[in-house]
Amino acid sequence: MPRDEMYSSSGSEASNEQDWLNDSNDEDGEQETLQVISLCDDQIFPDAASMLAYCKDKYLLDFLAIRNRLQLDFHGTVKLINFIRQRVHEAYPVPAEITEEHLQDDALLKPFLEDDALILCLDDLPEPPASSTEAEQAAVAGLSSEDLVKRNAELQRELDTLAQQFNRYRLAVQQTLDTRWAEGDAEATTDGPSNSNKAAVQDASSDPAKPDNDYSESYFASYARNEIHETMLKDHVRTDAYRDFVYQNKHLFEGKVVLDIGCGTGILSMFCAKAGAKQVIAVDKSEIVNKAREIIFDNGLDGNIVCLSGRIEEVTLPVKEVDIIISEWMGYCLLYEAMLNSVLWARDKYLKPDGLLVPSHANMWISPITNPGYFPDEYITDHVDFWRDVYGFDMKAMQANIYDDVRVDVLPPDCLGASPCAFEMLDLHTVKTEDLVFDRPWKTTLSGESKCVYGFLLWFDMFFAPSRHDTTVGDAMTAEEWSAGGPQRTAFTTGPFGHPTHWKQGVVINKDYAEDSQAVAPRSELHGTVSFTIPESYTRGLNIGITWEIPDKKSKKTETWMLH
């Protein structure tokens, strides 16, 4: 909403309008009964005076101040009414400052509401005050330097007060819209959600995209703190990739409706708005969404971005479908946190048939750790043997089950002793939720220096294809290979051959690496399977199972690690 609405141009103007607001209520017996619908919500009033007073008191929308500031005539005032009603109806934020440019379209002369009683009452509104510019200039000219300093201080205090009032208004309106959309009580329109959304929300509890345990609440709460967002934003591999794709493909975003799932601080939403998106709907269950609203407003993008608080499966969007879904959903080993489930749910419900997912593809990789110089000499010493002597105290009790968990760490590429193997490729436009639980084969050839399988390293690559029909991303293609195809190709890796990211890599240690049975012959083929399953105790976690065979030993080894 405009900041200028809250200014009082002069004492006489304020008195004139207040007298009208008070006196008009005394004439009810002389006027035909009207039903004037509020500009800001669905409340109905018997006259324009009480409605405008209500909007001014509750929403800080001073309609008369806007009209007077823009010096609108009858037709301009009609346009202003229809402009505000249209923005509120379509769930778009009213601009921070309404200007003449907003009212240039002659289509705004057509009443947004049939028989709009407010338009019928325009002749009853108080006349705009006469311009006082010349008088003000003359008064200022007669002030001394000391008086000017005092006057400037007074104006600054008024401005600070108005800014605080506007912030309160902005939060009040956004909370009202959140409540209205979450309840799903609005009637279906050509631009709004269908009445079937209620049923969809009710069914969400049984959907795999909606975990039903208490861990989800702590999961969302963890994203309300600054530290995690600082870490992600400072991950330049991650953030630069999203920025580069959006800015290098502005033609894909211009004039489009974009859904940002798990918006966090709103950085991806702001990229999209800057690229020309008509509307960006930013959704987040975490309390960080309140900070996102403020950030978006502070950057002047509140006219293009609307924030919704809640799970994507539960909120009601102000549109039936979107052109693009953008989300940074990836977790450790790609699928940890199960956020992809929510993205796929939203894809099936809201994305247009020819819509785009950003990013578009993911490849998952595995490679055996065989370098004895690094593992176990360095890694085991630092992370396992460490507990044997901690400042002179024996803490080996901490070593219990130490090999059962997936460790999240950054390892150097020379710890590997074989070529990486891509064991799963996800096309995000077509993959289904049930595909995220799988058992896939893999194989590789060990290097000439490999003598033992100490464990395995897992990571993923992300691809940003500009079309859902792009066929250039291969099943075993690395991010580096695909990016080399041209400057417009955006991709990144979380693996050991690239710059470290906050996802790091998944490290799983072979519990029996010290046994002779785990010895391998150099240049031999190693093959097996990789499985990803979901633990019943924590549906946002992962159980990662790896099976491998050592041909010379004719033995098969199977282990499972937890990422909870």
Please confirm whether the linkage preceding 359 is cis (ω < 30° from 0): yes
230: pLDDT strictly greater than 80 = yes
CA distances in angstroms from 61 to 58, 100, 130, listed in the order given? 8, 17, 22
According to DSSP, the residues that pair with 446 across neighbouring strands are 418
Q: Which of 303, 328, 353 is the last residue of a domain?
A: 328
Q: What is the mean pLDDT of residues 107-134?
A: 80
**Annotated catalytic, 337?**
yes
**Residue 512 in tokens:** 């029996």
CB 360 within 8 A of CB 473: yes
Q: Give yes or no: residues 131 and 17 share one domain.
A: yes
Q: What is the mean pLDDT of residues 113-126?
A: 85
18 lies in a domain? yes
Q: Give yes or no: residues 299 and 377 share one domain.
A: no
DSSP one-letter code for 193: -
Q: Give yes or no: residues 518 and 435 share one domain.
A: yes
Over residues 37-69, the pLDDT tens digits come to: 999 888 888 888 888 988 888 888 889 999 999
Closest CA to 510 of 420, 419, 382, 384: 384
Q: Identify the pLDDT of residue 452.
A: 84
Q: Give yes or no: residues 430 and 370 share one domain.
A: yes
CB 441 within 8 A of CB 475: no
CB 266 within 8 A of CB 296: yes
27: pLDDT strictly greater than 60 = no
128 lies in a domain? yes
Please confirm whether the linkage preceding 500 is cis (ω < 30° from 0): no
**Residue 131 in tokens:** 């311009």
324 Cβ contact list (under 8 Å, min separation 6): 252, 253, 256, 257, 258, 259, 272, 277, 355, 356, 357, 358
According to DSSP, the residues that pair with 393 across neighbouring strands are 390
Q: Give yes or no: residues 122 and 233 share one domain.
A: no
CATH code (residue 514): 2.70.160.11
Kindly report the backbone phi and psi dihedral angles of residue 265, in degrees, each rounded to the nearest multiple of 5, phi listed first.
-75, -5
CATH code (residue 253): 3.40.50.150
500 lies in a domain? yes
Which listed residue (5, 17, 314, 337) is catalytic?
337
Total tally of structural domains belonging to the chain: 3
Q: Give yes or no: residues 125 and 216 share one domain.
A: no
13 lies in a domain? yes
CB 56 within 8 A of CB 137: no
Over residues 245-275, the pLDDT tens digits come to: 999 999 999 999 999 999 999 999 999 999 9
Q: Give yes or no: residues 462 and 406 share one domain.
A: yes
Tokens 């953008």 — which residue? 326
Largest distance between two CA atoms of the chain: 103
Which listed residue (5, 13, 313, 328) is catalytic?
328
**Annotated catalytic, 328?**
yes
* pLDDT bracket for residue 524 (50, 70, 90): confident
Note if the pTM is more than 0.75: no
415 Cβ contact list (under 8 Å, min separation 6): 369, 371, 374, 375, 379, 457, 496
Pairing of strands 351-358, 322-327: parallel
- Determine the structural domain holding residue 78 and report its residue range: 4-135
According to DSSP, the residues that pair with 407 across neighbouring strands are 507
Q: What is the mean pLDDT of residues 208-217?
A: 49
